[in-house]
Structure 1
Amino acid sequence: MFGLFKNDPAKKLRKQYSAKLEEAMQAQRNGDIRSYATLSEEAQALWAQLEPLERDKT
């Protein structure tokens, strides 16, 4: 019953990951390939943190 109020760290990381991918896509569309590469690398680092949390859930 009280598990409803617990924070889910995977949910927060998933939201950050999606935001980074969105930023990277916008940078790529604007032709800023250097920023795209940097943002993609940051998104990959977030995914590396998120993947074990997602795997433990199942």
Structure 2
Amino acid sequence: MFGLFKKTSEIDKLQKKYEKLMKEWHELSTTNRSESDKKFAEAQEIVKKIEDIQL
């Protein structure tokens, strides 16, 4: 109940987006390799953003 009004941090938002992209990457890896590679590249950009924020 008390977590209802808790604001999510920028890192939490990026982490959820990263997890979503990695799931999509894994699903596409067996059917469409080029789209899979695009999702992986997007996920790597998210990792870089997270690292920049943490520094």
TM-score (structure 1 length as normaliser) = 0.75
Partner Cα distance (2:20, 2:6) in 1: 24
Query: How far is the alpha carbon of 1:5 from its aligned partner?
Result: 3.7
TM-score (structure 2 length as normaliser) = 0.78
Q: Which runs of 4+ in 1 moved over 6 A?
A: none
Sequence identity (%):
20
> Which amino acid is the alignment partner of residue 45 of structure 1?
E
Per-residue Cα deviation, 1:8-37 (whole angstroms, up to 9, x for no partner): 1100000000000000000012x2000010
* Greater helix proportion: 1
Gaps spanning 5+ residues in structure 2: where? Answer: none
Partner Cα distance (1:19, 1:7) in 2: 17
Partner Cα distance (2:46, 2:29) in 1: 19
Query: How far is the alpha carbon of 1:51 from its aligned partner?
Result: 1.6
Where do residues 1-58 of structure 1 align in structure 2 (5 Å cutoff)?
A: 5-29=6-30, 31-53=31-53, 55-56=54-55
Partner Cα distance (1:6, 1:20) in 2: 22
- After superposition, the CA RMSD in angstroms is 1.7
